[in-house]
Amino acid sequence: MTERLQGIAILTFDAEPGVLNKFDTATLSELHTALSILENHRLNGLIINSAQAIFFAGGDITEFSQRFQQSTAKIQTEINSYQQALNRLEALPYPSLCAINGAALGGGVEIALACDYRLAVHDARLGSPEVTLGLIPGTGATVRLPRIIGVERALQWIADGTIIRADQCDNGLLDEICSSQDELNSRAWSKLQEAIAAPEDWQQRRQKKRQAIANPPPAAIYRQAEARLDQHYHDSLSFRARTAAVHSIADSVYSDQNIALAIESMYLIELGQTRDSHLLIEAFINKTQPDASAVTLSANTLTRQHFSK
């Protein structure tokens, strides 16, 4: 971590040589340590970037396999630590900006969502593909994304697990799209200076992410999303997770951030302990194809609290 002129800190993710940036337990520990410094240092702003050709490759899938074999209480403790780190990042007493220079997946997107501003190079690929592992995002994506880009777009983004280029993100996720690394560096610096000069903007952005959604969509929107998933993924091991993503968003739009994050973690823990997810994670680690005939759990067993709203 370095500090440049005008009190702007730069936090750079850079794993050891030959290792991609991942949101694993080692990175989590280092992030908490860095946040303790950032919280107790007189600064005007923060830029988060990467020294690698990618920004973030997501979580460590091997850790997923180990995590969900623990007791529910231990799983909850680990998830809480990840959520707390991004809550601390979001609560820094000055604006933060994420400069995305390459692929940002899973936890990488969630780090970006916790920042006040997000810039990316045009060909950076972004996505939340956790559903392909039978899971949902667990560090705030189902909470922050709907409040940033809207519920309907967030439903498709998370439930489909689609990975798209930055220059195809026309939904408000990114504040600016840059043509090169040099432009990204220059605009990140300028954009953060603009934010420092107009604190009401980044403060309002944070408030929006922390509150219940003012005008949530009707229940029909969630039914439509589920119908689309049923049509395309019904016979897939990921079907239950995709439906849970819809439910997690639907159940949390009426709540503040703390309750919404608790809802997200509840769904994640439930999914992580299913056979469907275990099979998908094992297949990913072993680079094999999961046996789709092994689907044993129905999405219909999930709560449908939102349909009464």
**Could you write out the three-class secondary structure of 127-192?**
ECHHHHHCCCCCCCHHHHHHHHHCHHHHHHHHHHCCEEEHHHCCCCCCCEEECCHHHHHHHHHHHH
* Most confident range, picked from 235-239, 285-289, 299-303: 235-239
| Band of residue 6 on the pLDDT scale cut at 50, 70, 90 | confident
| Band of residue 40 on the pLDDT scale cut at 50, 70, 90 | very high
Q: Which residues partner with 127 through β-bridges?
A: 105, 163
| 165 close to 120: Cβ distance less than 8 angstroms | no
The Cα-based distances of 63 to 25, 60, 153 in angstroms read 8, 5, 29
Q: What is the pLDDT of residues 17-34, one digit of tens each?
A: 778 999 999 999 999 999
pLDDT given for residue 128 in this prediction? 96
Proportion of the chain above pLDDT 70, given as a percent: 92
pLDDT given for residue 136 in this prediction? 97
Residue 303 in this model has a pLDDT that exceeds 80: no
pLDDT given for residue 308 in this prediction? 37
In this predicted model, which residue has the larger pLDDT, 61 or 260?
Answer: 260
Q: What is the mean pLDDT of residues 1-6?
A: 66
pLDDT given for residue 152 in this prediction? 94
| Band of residue 290 on the pLDDT scale cut at 50, 70, 90 | confident
pLDDT given for residue 276 in this prediction? 94
pLDDT given for residue 293 in this prediction? 66
Distance of alpha carbon 82 from alpha carbon 35, whole angstroms = 13
Q: What is the mean pLDDT of residues 47-66?
A: 91
Instruction: Name the residue among 308, 229, 257 with its Cα closest to residue 147.
Output: 257
Q: What is the pLDDT of residues 102-156, one digit of tens each?
A: 999 999 999 999 999 999 999 999 999 999 999 999 999 999 999 999 999 999 9
pLDDT given for residue 18 in this prediction? 77
Residue 37 in this model has a pLDDT that exceeds 90: yes
Residue 304 in this model has a pLDDT that exceeds 50: no
- Chain-wide mean pLDDT for the chain? 91
| Domains contained in the chain, CATH given | 1-309 (3.90.226.10)
| 248 close to 305: Cβ distance less than 8 angstroms | no
Q: What is the pLDDT of residues 161-171, one digit of tens each?
A: 989 999 998 77
Q: What is the mean pLDDT of residues 86-96?
A: 98
Distance of CA 201 to the CA centre of its chain: 22
Q: What is the pLDDT of residues 202-249, one digit of tens each?
A: 999 999 999 999 999 999 999 999 999 999 999 899 999 999 999 999
pTM: 0.92
Distance of alpha carbon 202 from alpha carbon 205, whole angstroms = 5
